[in-house]
Chains A and B, each alone.
Chain A
């Protein structure tokens, strides 16, 4: 399987969860494990580009597929991914435990709805639990991430015709 563009061997144990494989075998501990039954969303990664729960997949199932973790969104030293940048700007985190999962879910949400309505924002983050922020700053971060994302507006959702280049502060 490819993890963040690099080929890794599958684990010897077919019972190994993808989440445990990423953390313990590949050494990418940015993927967090909260509930281990798909409720909290902390372990969300991109599987062939779509967000999935890595605790609800066996690692061997990822053979031949591409997995992207939070570490794969932006190279060390490079500018942050727009969703990461937005969480930073809007203070969309406190303790940070849920953040990797939120960021990966929001990457998926903006892929589906580049310019989400408030309802789409709420539904898009409803599968992730945060016990610190009360979600208000996270919702702002999603809207900000949509502004920062280079994807074209397709007249979907709110579509207030923001300038593509415009991080207006």
Chain B
């Protein structure tokens, strides 16, 4: 169906897309609601990590024992996404495909070296996180492709996530997620970015807005990095 429609958007949880529709910031010609597709809401183990399918709600991931055992970092990250009532409806794969630069989940997938599985009538392909996010709300998904699942590798080493936002549940002004020696930052570039924990602000040019100036965001990057990598 996606292949046959011009200017179609996939509707899963809708917790990012529907606000954009309400404000007329997005005006797609078609919505393809995937909520009635059966057997697309599982959370299961694969290669030691966890696969989250397209219709698994963020609240289900939050409550999942498997996620808690295999990828507790994902469990921590998903708790920082908005509020429980939003997570009851929102999906992990939807957050990845939406690719908000301030979102926790893309950075978590990136720091873990996870991937998404995209399917279309042409076939299935695996897209590593490092090749998936291209710009603000932009990914390498083709218009006819659907993210059917995402694979989060096991987080067995040292892991942590930290962010600064104005209010609990708001988008982060700046945040970072650590796995072992790896650091991914979010909210400070058009996509989540890997950074050197010893020099996290190197090469960053965050934008400024009413909530935070670029300088303040750079300051916060250092603050969250210090918190994630205590001396």
Hey, which chain A residues are within 8 Å of B14, CB to CB?
56-58, 61
Is the CB–CB distance between A17 and B83 below 8 Å?
A: no
Is the CB–CB distance between A55 and B169 below 8 Å?
A: no
| Interface residues in B57-90 (C-beta closer than 8 Å to A) | 59, 82-86, 88-89
Q: A37-B23, A123-B168 are in contact. Are A57 and B85 (CB under 8 A)?
A: no
**Complex Cα gap A108–B83 (Å):** 12
Count contacts on B: residues with CB < 8 A to the other chain.
20
Is the CB–CB distance between B22 and A108 below 8 Å?
A: no
- Give the bracket for the number of chain A residues in contact with chain B: 20 to 34
| Interface residues in A81-137 (C-beta closer than 8 Å to B) | 105, 108-109, 112, 123-124, 126-127
The residue in chain A whose Cβ has the minimal distance to the Cβ of B82 is A127
Q: Quick check: is A30 within 8 A (CB to CB) of the other chain?
A: no
**Complex Cα gap A52–B58 (Å):** 12
Hey, which chain B residues are within 8 Å of A47, CB to CB?
88-89
**Complex Cα gap A50–B59 (Å):** 10
Is the CB–CB distance between B33 and A61 below 8 Å?
A: yes
Hey, which chain B residues are within 8 Å of A127, CB to CB?
82-86, 169
Q: Quick check: is B35 within 8 A (CB to CB) of the other chain?
A: yes
**Complex Cα gap A58–B14 (Å):** 9
**Complex Cα gap A38–B21 (Å):** 12
Closest Cβ of chain B to A118, distance in Å, is 14
Number of A-B contacts (CB under 8 A): 68
**Complex Cα gap A93–B33 (Å):** 37
Closest Cβ of chain B to A105, distance in Å, is 6
Is the CB–CB distance between B22 and A52 below 8 Å?
A: no
Q: Quick check: is B3 within 8 A (CB to CB) of the other chain?
A: no
Is the CB–CB distance between B15 and A38 below 8 Å?
A: yes
Q: Quick check: is B19 within 8 A (CB to CB) of the other chain?
A: yes
| Interface residues in A8-29 (C-beta closer than 8 Å to B) | 17
Closest Cβ of chain A to B33, distance in Å, is 6
Hey, which chain A residues are within 8 Å of B19, CB to CB?
36-38, 56
Is the CB–CB distance between A36 and B22 below 8 Å?
A: yes
Q: Quick check: is B5 within 8 A (CB to CB) of the other chain?
A: no
Interface string of B15-42 (1 = CB under 8 A from A): 1001100110000000101010000000
Is the CB–CB distance between A38 and B86 below 8 Å?
A: yes
**Complex Cα gap A72–B219 (Å):** 49
- Give B contacts to A, CB under 8 Å: 11, 14-15, 18-19, 22-23, 31, 33, 35, 59, 82-86, 88-89, 168-169
Can you give 7 contacting A-B residue pairs, CB < 8 Å? A38-B19, A47-B89, A56-B89, A57-B14, A58-B14, A112-B84, A123-B84
- Give A contacts to B, CB under 8 Å: 17, 36-38, 41, 44, 47, 50-53, 55-58, 61, 105, 108-109, 112, 123-124, 126-127
**Which 4 pairs from chain A and chain B are nearest by CB?**
A127-B83, A37-B19, A56-B18, A50-B88
- 15 extra A-B contacts, CB within 8 A, seeds A53-B15, A56-B15, A127-B169: A36-B19, A36-B22, A37-B19, A37-B22, A38-B82, A51-B85, A53-B85, A53-B86, A53-B89, A55-B22, A56-B18, A61-B14, A61-B35, A108-B85, A127-B86
